A = this chain, B = another copy of it.
């Protein structure tokens, strides 16, 4: 489960150290903190942020509320970490697709596959909330900057496709918005209608976006 949080960028990672015994408590702490954030992400999605108290969260983890405070300062900080984890997954999938090489259209489609997986994951719902009214101004600004970075990279991928000829000339900004919308929207309908795997949905979306809808006549 903590693997879900892996792509999260951590400032100041503990350096490799021969004092294994001394390093362990920090590692344990990070694992438990990840577990708190994951449990919160599931609760926020299932019941909503306002309807989830730190008491509920502590109960679901079978710890006391004071124990929670060893890992997170408050509910808002947990929400922020959920956003960061969700965005980090999308960023990781952009990194992968950029490293893959080949025509930009293929890289874009690889990204779409990764994005679809991330959206149905535990932190995917955070992509549906562009300006979260539960985050204070400073945290909200940071999340917006991260999201804007993803938009920019997605658009750059489409522009690269137009440049290398693999993507037809189009409004790259509107195309990026259309793609992001189609993918993010999965977060709304997927849980109730999970007849297809995210990979299958990605292939259907790729089919529509690649070939368009125009019929014979």
Q: Which A residues contact B (CB, under 8 angstroms)? A: 47-48, 50-51, 103, 105, 108, 128, 130-131, 133, 158, 161-162, 164-168, 170-171, 174-175, 177-186, 188-189, 196, 201, 204-205, 207-217
Contact = CB atoms under 8 A, between A and B. Distances in A.
Given A181-B184, A185-B180, A133 B208 contact: no
Given A133-B48, A217-B103, A174 B209 contact: no
A128 B213 CA distance: 25
Nearest to A196: B174
A149 B186 CA distance: 18
B215 A162 contact: yes
B217 A213 contact: no
A208 B209 contact: yes
Contacts of A158: 213
Given A133-B50, A182-B181, A213 B209 contact: yes
Nearest to A189: B177
Interface of A is mostly: helix
Contacts of A205: 174, 178
A209 B47 CA distance: 35
B170 A208 contact: yes
Contacts of A185: 177-178, 180-182, 184-185
Contacts of A182: 177-179, 181-182, 185
A215 B184 contact: no
Contact of A165 (B208, B212, B217): B217
Contacts of A183: 181
A133 to B, nearest CB: 4
A214 B177 CA distance: 17
A89 to B, nearest CB: 18
Contacts of A164: 217
B177 A215 contact: no
A51 B205 CA distance: 37
Residue from A186, A201, A208 having most chain B Cβ neighbours under 10 A: A208
